[in-house]
Structure 1
């Protein structure tokens, strides 16, 4: 059987590394040829040591520099998973040009359009921040009215992909959390940050009036793999999907912290309830972008792990 060529764009990021880890495990080598792109150079030693079997390509998504060497050395991918993004909303607010040029994958989409048209599936990681945040449980066909630059760049990316790509799956991901990566990332991971903060025994402010559907990273990996496998076995090679990729619960930051405290046995009185409107974060944040994930569950026959179980698995 011919192996499926999978290219992970942004392989050094949080989701990217978890995908590489999964492909490196469970006999991925028998079924998939995997390569990844990175922007930061040099690559961390730990990453290279962990995945020596996966070729790494330096790529600048703003200009598309480096993409052609993938075609030459790795060949035309069957599936491209785009995890690359400038995903810190405040950073996007401060540098909207970079946010637009990285988060709207124009160079990547143009590169894909040079290939045999129906042979490549683009799985693109979008965000729940494409929604305005004025109601609960958004559905995929609700209007996308982003309130900050990050969300707007992701809306623009979705429009580009729908317009220019024949085959795609757009995953609107919520907060992604789970275990640390093989090569640890400099940014705080949500559950680990809550855990280490509460462990110190200090009272900490958490928002009680902002709602998301945080998703366990391994569920997002499973979703991606199911999409790839569905693509591989399909005869007609037709996929145009938009899916809300959130966890099964609508949670505020307070509720997330309470679950961590419960799992770890910390004092609940350390969790101070504050309103999101009381803090200036340098960026407008949508109040309630919880998502209805019925379509995800029905389409992929998969039910995401509960937040509490995911926190146990993470810690």
Structure 2
């Protein structure tokens, strides 16, 4: 099986490469090797490599910068996925694409299902939703995986930020009125590979579509930080700072964040047997996030 992974140096892409490299004919590229915003570059590479699957882990994820970098956000998050889907369609390939909880407005009571109405609040979410629609329109053989609050040992994320700040500060204010499911990058990679393997074996068109995959249990950023520092202190890596829960309006940012990013993961469990990410277990290697 031939697999093309884009965004191979990102949090999820890095994990995909580690988990795939011995099991498939793998071509892993980052922006230096492939500019996904160039239709010609995408079509040239895909027509030469002829992947059975493209896993698109490339994205413009700087949520606040996206408010100013509108054209870049849409180029990477919308045009890129569309070109990959079109090119894959030309060679009979399937596209697996990572999307986000930011496609929702975050004002729902309870959890978001795949059928819930979207309504992104900022440029990042709008560009990611546009990418979902463009990709789906370009290739019926697609699986879109929406996830949230991604963290891992590689790359920049909330866990690493907390540990870095915790070394130097005795007290931290953390937003406590935004809720979601922290999701371990290694679990996202594992889920994508499981989806790919089943789709390859079954060739069942009913498997295509949109899926939610995130962590459990759902928590606030404040509660997430509490768990991070508890595990770090238990392993004697640092003395936990004093945490104070604050409201979103006390920590203004250029981009509006959804208050509720809780996602229902029943569909992916039913169709693929994939359980939500156990983010607490993923934090047991807390030392690995401090490198």
Tell me, yes or no, whether TM beats 0.5.
yes
Which residue, 7, 12, 37 being the options, matches 1:10? Answer: 7
> What is the CA distance between 1:237 and its match in structure 2?
5.7
In structure 2, distance between residues paired with 1:297 and 1:111: 30
1:33 corresponds to 2:22? no
In structure 1, distance between residues paired with 2:19 and 2:115: 31
1:98 corresponds to 2:98? no
1:108 corresponds to 2:84? yes
More helix by share: 2
> What is the CA distance between 1:171 and its match in structure 2?
0.3
Which residue, 163, 169, 175 being the options, matches 2:149? Answer: 175
Matches within 5 A, 1:76-87: 76-87=50-61
| Residue segments in structure 2 that go unaligned for 5+ positions in a row | none
| Residue segments in structure 1 that go unaligned for 5+ positions in a row | 41-57
What is the CA RMSD across the aligned residues, in angstroms? 1.9
In structure 1, distance between residues paired with 2:196 and 2:95: 10
SS in 2 for 1:89: coil
State the match for 2:178 in structure 1.
210
In structure 1, distance between residues paired with 2:239 and 2:9: 36
State the match for 1:126 in structure 2.
99
**TM-score normalized by structure 1?**
0.83
1:22 corresponds to 2:14? no
Contact 2:169–2:241 under 8 Å retained in 1: no
State the match for 1:59 in structure 2.
34
In structure 2, distance between residues paired with 1:19 and 1:143: 30
In structure 2, distance between residues paired with 1:231 and 1:298: 14
> What is the CA distance between 1:99 and its match in structure 2?
0.6
Which residue, 117, 121, 139 being the options, matches 1:165? Answer: 139
**Deviation digits for residues 47-100 of structure 1, max 9, x if unmatched?**
xxxxxxxxxxx22222224224424542x1100001111011111111111111
> What is the CA distance between 1:269 and its match in structure 2?
6.1
State the match for 2:210 in structure 1.
242
Contact 2:77–2:128 under 8 Å retained in 1: yes
Contact 2:265–2:276 under 8 Å retained in 1: no
In structure 2, distance between residues paired with 1:273 and 1:210: 11
In structure 2, distance between residues paired with 1:101 and 1:64: 11
**More divergent stretch after superposition (124-133 vs 64-73):** 64-73
In structure 1, distance between residues paired with 2:208 and 2:48: 28
Contact 2:102–2:124 under 8 Å retained in 1: yes
In structure 2, distance between residues paired with 1:142 and 1:305: 21
In structure 1, distance between residues paired with 2:46 and 2:107: 44
> What is the CA distance between 1:297 and its match in structure 2?
1.9
Aligned residues: 280
Contact 1:59–1:65 under 8 Å retained in 2: no
Contact 2:170–2:241 under 8 Å retained in 1: no
